[in-house]
Amino acid sequence: MSSRTEKRRSLTVILIVVAAFSLFLFKLFNVQILSAGEDKNTPMATVTVEVNPIRGEILDRNGYPLVTNKQANKIIFTYSSFPTDYGERNRIIHELITIFKANKAVWKDELPIEVKNGELVFTKDMENSVSYLKSEAFLDLNYYATVQNCFDALVEKYELEEYELTAARDIASVYYSLVKDGFNTGRNYIFASEVSNELASAIMEKSYLFPGVELQIDSARDYPDGTLAPHILGIVGPISEEEYEEGKDKGYSLNDYTGQSGIEALYESQLKGIKGEKIITIDSSGAKTEKYTKEPVQGNTVVLTIDRNIQKAVQDALAKKIKEVQSTITDYQLSGAAIVMDVRDNSCLAIASYPNYNNATYVKDYAKLVADPAKPLWNRALDSTFTPGSTIKPAVAMAGLEEGVINKDTEVYCEGIYDYYEDYQPGCTGKHGYLDVRWALCHSCNIYFYETARLLGIEKLNRYFTMFGFGEPTGIELYESEGTVDTPELRTSIGELWTPGLTIQAGIGHGNNMFTPIQLCSYVSTIANKGVRYKAHVVKSVMNSDLSKTVSETQKQVLSKANFKADNWKQVYEGMFLVATESYLDFTKVPVKVGVKTGTTTVEKVINGKTVELNNGFIIGFAPYDNPEIAVAIAVESAGMSAYLGPILSEIFQYYFTAKDTSEASQTENTLLE
């Protein structure tokens, strides 16, 4: 190789090195000097996230809030950042629980195992949770596995050997919910909801100790008075797997909350709002910026027909009397319901069920509420069915008058026994002598209505029951039991024969006639409207979030109309007026005339291992007598005599026609809801 060739090659290498070094210097100069400002804003991470909307509010008919929203701090585990190593997971969970206990705060604890006096026990009334714990989806143990077997499996599975009994149990409670809630890449886990600002700050100040643990600021339901109509309003809760599968195409995610019962569930599509989107950008310095690409839209407002003041008055009157009677009874618990309707359209002004509960503490109290033998979560106004007793007699009277088997002058002699049948002679509550239909209603004479029912026959009698809405839905938006009208076909279906005795028992509201309190209220409203039966409803309208636009409005709807003779209505009205003025009931404090009917039925219950007979009490009424505005129905289980219910009805009437008129004036904003 020539020296010229070697020099050429050496020069080439030198030029390449110089060129490369020059390029490096140029890039360094460009980065350090020319592009220094740009580099600080160079995006390191960009992500688009959903933004939950604020849920729509629920108002009473006058615009007063029944359900609103408040800020809620949630401590969540993010799947992408949460450690996978059990040792580190256990440390984080244990330290969080320690902080929560020190602050007397609660975390999500659904594990059906408790430590009592140093011993492990399954939590009472959580059989379904115990079954899930043992199931193939979780621990995969035999159904007969003991609580110790379950706990040992939890300790082994989640490497909890180094923790003492209570600490291990508490950490395991988080794993139980993590698995049950489906903690994965698509679903974060809510460790605790509604965390105080102080506690949230304390945890976030030590965030370096808790990788994968974040503070999420969201909204939660707030209740100015959580005891008002909780059975009607309902609650919201975490979306279930089934709900997610049905709703994922409608924008639901696994971390969403949805209406679980009542209006919250029924009007979920209106209340939930529309999700927004924002872009979160984190630059090289770690600074985070957010920009909305789609603003969230608050859910619509649902306006109820409920009047919060009337609702409270009805709840208080019902509870006061039941507690008074309960104070004399120790062997069993009383319960009941009361409904007030505006007869002009069957809008519900109040729906009360006793015992009651508080929506504001529902989650905290849930286990206790479920275990309570009085079943406070059960909506007795809409779901319970009762044999109505003598409250049925105005309908029987109208049937007899319309069919001509009796008239206003027809008198039946009552000597205490109905002796038409040789082999079946039921009795009456007294010896009333001769009575016409008005005084038969006043004294609730069984003999008169046995005879009327016999003359009518069951087919005609039941036709009139249907006209008054018995055994038919009232039409209310919420779930309701339809009740049952006793018929020969029904008896045949259960292997029984229809007898004449069943016909006359139907005439006094006995047998298998089973109706709900709201059906009784719709029935007395139909009496007040002289045969016109409106569809019951509890939703007045749906409006947008700022109440500037009506989305939908419930219209008055006639379900049926019976063209009964005016004189026949006169007899029924006068009979119900006599009940209010000539019986043992006292309505002298009510400033208007009223029409009333009571009823009592006997039911068998097993108490302390013995079968005993107890009386359910009922009362229905409308007022004012000469120009009806409201109808009321009250039922109290095991109350004794229906006379106990008179003071409740009187107090409701008094409030509506006196206190209501002098209550606080409507706010200016309420005019939007009229």
Give per-residue pLDDT as tens, 88-103: 999 999 999 999 999 9
Provide the pLDDT for residue 71. Answer: 85
Distance CA(350)–CA(307), nearest Å, equals: 7
Which homologous superfamily is 308-543+553-662 in? DD-peptidase/beta-lactamase superfamily (3.40.710.10)
- CATH number for the segment(s) 39-64+227-304: 3.90.1310.10
CATH 3.40.710.10 domain span(s) along the chain: 308-543+553-662
Q: Quick check: 591 and 638 in contact, CB under 8 A?
A: no
Between 321 and 27, the higher pLDDT residue: 321
Task: Please report, rounded to a whole number, the percentage of residues in the chain having pLDDT higher than 70.
Answer: 90
Compute the mean pLDDT over every residue in the chain, rounded to the nearest whole number: 89
Whether pLDDT at 392 is above 90: yes
Q: Quick check: 233 and 353 in contact, CB under 8 A?
A: no
Give CA 659 to chain center in angstroms.
29
pTM of the shown model:
0.81
Residue 22's pLDDT band, with cuts at 50, 70 and 90, is very low
Provide the pLDDT for residue 45. Answer: 66
Give the count of beta carbons closer than 10 Å to the beta carbon of residue 522: 31
Q: Quick check: 358 and 365 in contact, CB under 8 A?
A: yes
Instruction: Compute φ and ψ for 18, nearest 5 degrees.
Output: -65, -45
pLDDT tens by residue, 555-605: 999 999 999 999 999 999 999 999 999 998 999 999 999 999 999 998 888
What amino acid is encoded at 426 in this protein? P
pLDDT tens by residue, 408-456: 999 999 999 999 999 999 999 899 999 999 999 999 999 999 999 999 9
Whether pLDDT at 18 is above 90: no
CATH 3.90.1310.10 domain span(s) along the chain: 39-64+227-304
Provide the pLDDT for residue 285. Answer: 66
3-state secondary structure of 38: helix
Q: In sequence order, what DSSP letters do the residues of 162-176 get, joined into one string? A: TS-HHHHHHHHHHHH
3-state secondary structure of 259: strand
Closest CA to 560 of 648, 473, 493, 450: 473
